[in-house]
Amino acid sequence: MHIHFLDPYRSGSSPVHAADARLKFVLTLAFILTASLTPPGAWPVYILLFALILSVEILSGLGVGYVLKRSLLALPFVLAALPLPFTVEGRTLFSLPLGGWMLTASLEGLARFVSVALKSWLSVQAAVVLAACTPFPDLLMAMRAIRIPRLLTAMFGLTWRYLFVLADEALRLMRARAARSGAETGAAPSASLRAGGSVAWRARVAGGMAGSLFLRAFERSDRIYAAMLSRGYDGEVRALPPPTFTAAHWLTLTLGLTLLALLLGFGLLFWG
């Protein structure tokens, strides 16, 4: 049993897939920064940003549905911004009598709320496209290229490699637990939710599984260390220098950043 579905990379041959990882990485960050800096209520800018990311999604051949589905992951967090319409002062939209209180929603507050939700939604889409169109090893190269410390990128690489191996192990542990935790036959369906004793006991079982996962990870790290040593590892992290960043790459990067800067300028000028 292998956990393929954990890896969000979707192979493809689109121009988005083919683009240099450094380019995609920097442009994604710039896109998210632009969305973040765009003032609340600057609807045309949000629409243009959406048009931009939507074009990239179509170009990538990922399927807009796939990206949109994954982008809903961040949705529950919108709850955190839900009080905004009621706490920001401004023109009254509607009032709700609530016990002794009067809950008043303002237009400005609503605009802030929708803006936060839109910023978040646009940013998640960009991150989804980046992860789905760029193999993680290429992302590592991009991170090395923008001078993220080598020790950290080496850690990212190792973690990503063993994430799948250990996720397999975790899955086997969970399957073993499931195989031994049936509810009594004839019990109500809800009983299976409570099967296996108290919450504390269940948590401790999960904890024991986590403990054995950690123990195996410790032991594995010893063997990996030996394997690294035997191929010359000396405590320093080394990697090949990234391939050259060509003039064409620079041009694309400049064009992309300029476009985002224009959008941002537009937003700041009229709504800032």
Partner 1 sequence: MLYSPAPMHIPDGFLSTLVAVVLWILSAGVIAYALRRVGKDLGERQVPLMGVLAAAIFAGQMLNFTVAGGTSGHLLGAALAAILLGPWAAIIVMTTVVSIQALIFQDGGLLALGGNLFNMAVIGVAVSYFVYTSVQKIARGQKWGVFVGGFAAAWLSIVVAALACALELALSGTSPANVAVPAMGGIHMLIGVGEGLITLGALAFLYAARRDLLHIGEAAPAGGRAVWVGGLLIALLLAVLSPLASAHPDGLEWVAEQKGFLDAAQEPLYNIIPDYLFPGVSNDALATILAGILGVLIVFGVALGVAYLRRKQMTDR
Partner 2 sequence: MHHSIEIKDLSFTYPDGHPALQNVSLTIAPGEKVALVGPNGAGKSTLLLHLNGILSGQGSVRVCGLSVAKENLARVRAAVGLVFQNPDDQLFSPTVFDDVAYGPIYQGLEREEVERRVTSALAAVGMSGYAQRVSHHLSAGEKKRIAIATVLSMNPEVLVLDEPTAGLDPRARRGLIRLLGGLPMTMLVSTHDLAMARELLPRTVILDEGRVVADGPTEALLANAALLEAHGLEMP
Binding site for partner 2 (CB under 8 A): 2, 4, 7, 135-137, 140, 157-158, 160-162, 164-165, 220, 223-224, 226-234, 238-241
Using alpha carbons, list the distances in angstroms from residue 26 to 18, 29, 120, 143, 256: 15, 5, 18, 10, 10
Quick one: which of 47, 248, 251, 261 contacts partner 1 (CB under 8 A)? 47
**Among residues 79 and 240, whose Cβ is nearest to partner 2?**
240
Give me 144's structure tokens.
């090395």
Answer left, alpha or beta for residue 239, where phi above 0 means left and psi between -120 and 50 means alpha. beta
Give me 256's structure tokens.
């992309």
Shortest CB 185 distance to partner 1, Å:
20
Rounded to whole angstroms, the Cα distance separating 62 from 258 reads 26
30 Cβ neighbours under 8 A, 6+ residues apart: 256, 257, 260
**Among residues 39 and 242, whose Cβ is nearest to partner 1?**
39
**Among residues 98 and 240, whose Cβ is nearest to partner 2?**
240
Number of chain residues interacting with partner 1 (CB under 8 A): 110
Is 262 a binder of partner 1 (CB under 8 A)?
A: no
Q: How many other CB atoms are there within 10 angstroms of residue 226's CB atom?
A: 10
Is 263 a binder of partner 1 (CB under 8 A)?
A: no
Is 121 a binder of partner 1 (CB under 8 A)?
A: yes
Rounded to whole angstroms, the Cα distance separating 111 from 266 reads 18
What mask of x and - would describe binding to partner 1 in positions 6 to 25, judged by CB under 8 A? xxx-----x-----------
| Residues 50-89, interacting with partner 1 (CB under 8 A) | 50-52, 54-55, 58-59, 61, 70-71, 73-74, 76-77, 80-81, 83-84, 87
